[in-house]
């Protein structure tokens, strides 16, 4: 009977014992590898999501401009810019693009054109720095 209680005590002591240093290092290594794999998959999607948001913002601004046109019979001139939508209480505020740059508004041949200069904030560029414009949408390519 005494031998049985000693075995039980040893088992209980093993269960209470913490993780060894090697076990902790293995767990940290596995977590680091998983984090790196997720980061590699997510970071490129982040820039793509920002470009998608620009397209949605441009669409919302175009709707605001169409409402302005319905109320006033004309689009705001280039000098008044998108601030005219706020002044006419059509939009609460004009959004900034995901890279914290203002959207550019120009009235070309009595048609509004809204543009974001992309990540770099300057005209032109490729990839994430490429410009995104309302001219790019399929509805303006008629």
Q: What is the pLDDT of residues 97-132, one digit of tens each?
A: 999 999 999 999 999 999 999 988 889 888 888 999
Whole-prediction pTM: 0.69
Taking only the tens place, the pLDDT of each residue in 41-54 is: 888 888 889 999 99
Of the two residues 1 and 103, the one the predictor is more confident about is 103
Give the span between the Cα atoms of 56 and 61, in whole angstroms: 9
Question: Which residues, listed in sequence order, are joined to residue 111 by a DSSP beta bridge?
Answer: 108
Domains plus CATH for the chain? 20-136 (3.30.700.10)
Question: Within 13 A of 69's CA, how many CA atoms are on the CB side?
Answer: 11
Which whole-number Å values give the CA distances from 27 to 19, 30, 81, 131, in the listed order? 10, 5, 56, 44
Taking only the tens place, the pLDDT of each residue in 15-49 is: 566 678 899 999 999 999 999 999 888 888 888 89
pLDDT > 50? residue 58: yes
């Amino acid at each position: 009977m005494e031998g049985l209680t000693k075995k039980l005590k040893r088992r209980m002591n093993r269960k209470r014992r913490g993780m060894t240093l090697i076990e902790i290092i293995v767990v940290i290594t596995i977590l680091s590898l998983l984090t790196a794999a997720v980061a590699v998959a997510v970071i490129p999607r982040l820039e793509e999501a920002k470009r998608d948001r620009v397209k949605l913002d441009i669409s919302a601004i175009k709707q605001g401009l169409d409402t302005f046109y319905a109320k006033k019979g004309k689009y705001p001139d280039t000098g008044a810019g998108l601030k005219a939508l706020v002044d006419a209480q059509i939009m609460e505020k004009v959004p900034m693009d995901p890279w914290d740059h203002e959207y550019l508004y120009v009235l070309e041949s009595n048609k509004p054109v809204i543009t974001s200069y992309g990540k770099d904030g300057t005209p032109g560029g490729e990839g994430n720095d490429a410009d995104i414009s309302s001219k790019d949408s399929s509805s303006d390519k008629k």
